[in-house]
Structure 1
Amino acid sequence: MADDLDTKIEQAMGHHDDPGAIPEAGLLGKAIDKLGLIFALSLIVSMLILINEVVLRYVFNSPTIWAHETTIFICGMVFIYGGLYCVARDQHIRVVLIYDAVSDKWRRIMNIVISVVSALASLIFAWAAWLMVQRAAFSPDGAVRLERSGSAWDPVYPGLTKIGLFLILAVISLQFLVLAYNYTKGRK
């Protein structure tokens, strides 16, 4: 009786088991899903940094020079990772007008086509991000020199953000290829 009540309460509140990455995402999808926890926790770190900054600024009149840029960097990286996370969990935006109206066979074909086209698009974006990384991470003579923000604190966050964008886009491309392969083979 108590279990039924707990189930009804969870359903009413919208609670459900987290399905994680879809089976077609393979081991890469599972790893992406697990790594998402670190990115989620970094949002809490970002919040704590901002609370610290508010207290230091308005209570002690002693603001920091690093809090603003650090939270922007953390939130930006979380946002970028969110795209990869959505791909692994099959929670990206999809126009379902046609998708939901076709048979399972045609959905599988559509999933293959969508995955291949998305992989190609992601590869193009990764190439564009690589061009940004070349300017943001290397000096003209080839030495590693990360782009800096130019602020009083001057962290290397702009260079790290561009590297992160490139890496995540490359992994998104790979994840779409894994999905296309597994949809082709009918694997789950």
Structure 2
Amino acid sequence: MLDRGIRRGGQVIAWLVFIAMLVSVFEVVMRYGFNSPTEWAHETTTFLVAAIFALGGPYALATNRHIQIRILLDRLSPRKRSWLELLNLALGILFCLAIGYAAWVLAYNATHAPDGSWRLETSGSSWNQPLPAFTKIVVLVSIALMAVQQVVRIATHRRARLDGDGKP
């Protein structure tokens, strides 16, 4: 169910590529056609592309389209393959926890002043929007989603092993 929701969300988020392209085209037309560059186009496009990239991780897991090198895995017996897949899932969770901690620190620092009060980090440009804070929040959410996906996969893997079919 989680993967299905992420796949549906990914189909909506994919439209951000089109929006980023429209913003870039608008900037080019304004800058070179009318000699009137925008203040917001570059930052907006950077945020959109960063969000798309970050949310591509959970989408790749949900659609099972991430890079897999299966040379060793395909040569193992089903039982050994199952154990190696479980190890891979556990290492995936550890990786998400480590990266998630770093993302949490970055997101917290981007949303809180040194005294602990709420404030959003801004870009410091003339437009000065809080897109850097939003980008760090999106990265944190993306990593959290991937960690939850890995936990769900471990539960599914365990259930499959208990059912005796050996196939998660």
Instruction: Give the TM-score normalised by the residue count of structure 2.
Output: 0.91
Structure-to-structure mapping, 1:26-65, within 5 angstroms: 27-65=1-39
Deviations 1:43-82 (A, max 9, x none): 0000011111111111111111100110010000100111
Question: How far 1:154 moved relative to its partner?
Answer: 0.8
Instruction: Give the TM-score normalised by the residue count of structure 1.
Output: 0.81
Aligned match of 1:95: 69
Aligned match of 1:132: 106
% identical equivalent positions: 35
Distance 1:99 1:29 in 2: 23
Aligned match of 1:120: 94
Asked if 1:157 is matched to 2:123, the reply is no
- Partner letter of residue 155 of structure 1? Q
- Partner letter of residue 99 of structure 1? L
Please report the RMSD computed on the Cα atoms of aligned residues, expressed in angstroms. 1.4
Deviations 1:108-156 (A, max 9, x none): 2222111111011101111111111221101123221111111111111
Distance 2:4 2:149 in 1: 11
Distance 1:91 1:113 in 2: 19
Distance 2:45 2:155 in 1: 38
Higher deviation after alignment, 70-79 or 98-107: 98-107
Distance 1:138 1:41 in 2: 31
Q: Structure 2: where are the runs of 5+ without partners?
A: 161-166
Distance 1:51 1:140 in 2: 39
What is the SS of the residue equivalent to 1:139? coil
Distance 1:107 1:38 in 2: 35
Distance 2:85 2:62 in 1: 13
Distance 1:29 1:105 in 2: 25
**Which runs of structure 1 show a deviation greater than 6 angstroms over 4 or more consecutive aligned residues?**
none
Question: How far 1:103 moved relative to its partner?
Answer: 2.9
- Partner letter of residue 137 of structure 2? I
Aligned residues: 162
Q: Structure 1: where are the runs of 5+ without partners?
A: 1-26
Aligned match of 1:145: 119
Contact 1:113 1:180 (C-alpha < 8 Å) held by counterparts: no
